[in-house]
Amino acid sequence: MRLDVRLTHRFLDQLWCQAIVVFLFEDISLQKEYLLRINKALAGSLTPLIDTHFITGRKGDFILIAPQERIKAEKLLFVGLGPVSGYSVRILPSVARKLFSSLDRLHVDEFCIMVPRFDGDKKQYEGFVRSMIQGTMSYYEKREREAASFILKVLVSIDEDICSNMRTLQESLRSYLDPRMEYTIVIDESRGLHDEKV
């Protein structure tokens, strides 16, 4: 298996891939602006789902939505992490297993992880990304052991105001990944035009 990771500041409407995974916390203060921005990119189609509390960020929620060509991705998956007060990277392995099992059943091998907003420091963001990449490897190495030519493409979208310099994150991932594994980690330096493919 080969893993291709691309770190980017691009947002929902500038991401070209099969599926986009949006992680949400249950806390209104953290998710309100984030969800409003996502909703705007989707031309307001999330409004009824937000108003009826269908999308909440509750821990364990997995909600698959067809974006109906409002964005470049074919599928949009909302994953709830629960209240931020109860968050720990220890919950991520079980979330990752469920997530990657779902993506596998959907025959998705090119997806984007949108990193949620934390109240904490940059270490939390780095830990989140590292845990998700670790979960990706763990799941797909077992799943695709026989398929040496299998290529998994993972985009990681993180707000620029949270992590303006991706180099530290890139180095952290490189120091973590097994040197025997075939992988690339690229930083997308472009600010992104609406129709420019990542």
Q: Write out pLDDT tens, residues 138-181.
A: 887 776 555 667 888 999 999 887 787 889 889 888 888 877 67
Secondary structure class of 24 (helix, strand, coil): strand
Q: Which domains does the chain have, with CATH numbers?
A: 2-187 (3.40.220.10)
Strands 110-114 and 182-187, sheet pairing: unpaired
Nearest to 140 by CA among 101, 193, 189: 101
DSSP structural state of residue 12: G
Q: Write out pLDDT tens, residues 26-48.
A: 877 667 788 888 888 898 888 89
Q: State the number of CA atoms in the 13 A half-sphere of 92 facing the CB.
A: 21
Instruction: Determine the distance from the C-alpha atom of residue 40 to the mean position of all C-alpha atoms in its chain, rounded to a whole number.
Output: 19
Secondary structure class of 194 (helix, strand, coil): coil
- First-to-last CA distance in the chain? 22
Q: State the number of CA atoms in the 13 A half-sphere of 156 facing the CB.
A: 23
Q: State the number of CA atoms in the 13 A half-sphere of 36 facing the CB.
A: 6
Residue that the structure tokens 């990944």 belong to: 177
pLDDT of 120 reads 65
This prediction has a pTM of 0.88
